[in-house]
Amino acid sequence: MDCLEFRRRLAAEPRARDTAFVAHRDSCHAGCTEAWWRAQRLERRIEDALATEPPAGLAERILLAQATRMRVRTRRWQVGFALAASLLLAVGVGTFGWDRSARADPLPAMSVAHLRGEAFALALTQPVSDGELRRDFAARGVALRAMPQGAVFVRDCDVGSWRTVHLVFRVNNEPVTALYFVGRDTTRPRDFHHAGWQGRELPLDHGTLLLLGADARGFADVERTLRQALQGSAQQTIAEL
């Protein structure tokens, strides 16, 4: 480090302590040592001047302000929590009421409501993979014996309190929705019309199959492919026997 570099550094960082700086200070005979002392005195003056006395009780006042804000926020939070709890209760009561009314005639209303919630699936055209089909049925504890053909959407969904596999098939370029209610017994098949949708409810394997479409033309094909997927083909059954 030469004198110029030392002086520059001294002007910017008089309290510097690094080895090269200190070594030059201690060895220079061209006035750098004296300059360092002058800089230290100036620095001391600056430090003394900056050391103003803080107002008494500053920390305590800040802690008091913080504690007060905390209390106000806690009260707000409590009020908010009470409101949220009331709202939740109201929603719960409403849902319970809806659930009871839905159970009075459950499947058509619940299924159409669910279909509307996932209406995007009706526009899909690309077939889903066998892996997706196998996975979503397996999520409901159902092992497929064959792959249902023509499915463009599959998802394990809850419809009301029922665990279902939701599928959409394209039959003659029209979407047919199939909801397989696992473990739900249906005594006999029935057709229904609900909210502009044509529907069919029928027993299938260990559950209920509910089909929805603009009309019933594609129902037979979808029922056939799902029956085969769940129960296997006639040849398979015979072979197993």
Partner 1 sequence: MPVSAKVGSRQRQFDALVRAHANDLYRFAYWLCGDDTRAQDLVQETLLRAWRALDSLRDGSAAKPWLLTILRREHARGFERKRLELSELDDNLAEDTATVDPERAGSDAQVRAAILQLEPKYREPLLMQVLGGFSCEEIAAELGCKPGAVMTQLFRARQKLRAVLDGGASMNAKEASHGLP
Distance of closest approach, residue 84 Cβ to partner 1, in angstroms: 18
Order of strands across the sheet with 162-171?
A: 151-159, 162-171, 174-182, 207-213, 197-204, 190-194
Contacts of 130 (CB under 8 A, 6+ apart): 147
The residues near 106 (Cβ < 8 Å, ≥ 6 apart) are: 160
How near is the Cβ of 89 to partner 1 at its closest, in Å?
24
Interface residue with partner 1 among 11, 82, 214, 220 (CB under 8 A) is 11
Do the Cβ atoms of 14 and 40 come closer than 8 Å?
yes
State the number of binding residues for partner 1 (CB under 8 A).
35
CA angle 137, 120, 179 (to 5 degrees): 35
The stretch near partner 1 (CB under 8 A) out of 11-19, 100-108, 118-126, 165-173 is 11-19
Judged by CB, which is closer to partner 1: 60, or 240?
Answer: 60
Least distance CB 25 / partner 1 (angstroms): 12
Piece of 20-28, 61-69, 205-213, 215-223 that binds partner 1 (CB under 8 A): 61-69
Rounded Cα gap, residues 114 and 110, in angstroms: 6
Token couple for 87? 């709202």
Q: How far is the CB of 56 from partner 1 (least distance, A)?
A: 11
User: Does residue 56 interact with partner 1 by CB under 8 A?
Assistant: no
Residue 137: count of CB within 10 angstroms of its CB = 21
**Which lies closer to partner 1 via its Cβ, residue 21 or residue 181?**
21
3-state secondary structure of 44: helix
Residue (3 or 123) nearer to partner 1, CB: 3
Residues 62-91 that bind partner 1 (CB under 8 A): 62-63, 65-66, 69
Q: Which spans of this chain sit near partner 1 (rule: CB under 8 A)?
A: 4, 7-14, 35-36, 38-39, 41-52, 54-55, 58-59, 61-63, 65-66, 69
